Copies of this chain bind each other. A is one copy, B any other.
Amino acid sequence: MESSDKTKESAKQTFTEYLNKNKLRKTPERFAILDRIYSINGHFDIESLYCYMKENNYHVSKATLYNNINLLLDCKLIIKHNFGDNISQYEKSYNTHTHNHFICTRCGAIKEFSDINIKRTIQSKRIKNFTQLSYSLYIYGVCNKCQTEQEAAEQKKCVKTRI
């Protein structure tokens, strides 16, 4: 069995337990949604999940997607990101409680990374009257591509001015 299949199985089990515990029904739609989500690497929004499922010949309504996304958020099988464009992004989050991102403020490119030092430093932060569960870190800056483009544009401008 592949490691991604193993994760999928574990996630399915977690979801089943959650549904049992909360006396919710184990509908085929629910497991189809979970299965599709756990096939996606990286971020996705509702629209792309909707299309992705349709492409795989499984039709679910947007309402059902929203409904179940909330359940999956509640049992921590996915996490939600809001990068600022008012379209919520989600991603699978099996045993991943830390999420670091670089975001280019020019082109909006998002890159994820792991860093044990950052993780340790943040998790060792003790806050009075607050129990830490997880964190999300967003580092903003300019990616190499945009920087190169900007420099080229400025050089062009200087040349123009000189003429």
Contacts and interface: CB of A to CB of B under 8 A. Distances in A.
Contacts of A131: 141-142, 147
Contacts of A138: 135-138
Given A82-B84, A105-B133, A121-B118, A127 B113 contact: yes
User: Quick one: copies of this chain in the complex?
Assistant: 2
A131 B141 CA distance: 5
A102 B132 CA distance: 9
B135 A140 contact: yes
A121 to B, nearest CB: 4
A59 B134 CA distance: 42
Interface string A113-128: 1010110011001011
Contacts of A142: 130-131, 133
Interface of A: 80, 82-84, 86, 88, 102, 104-105, 111, 113, 115, 117-118, 121-122, 125, 127-145, 147
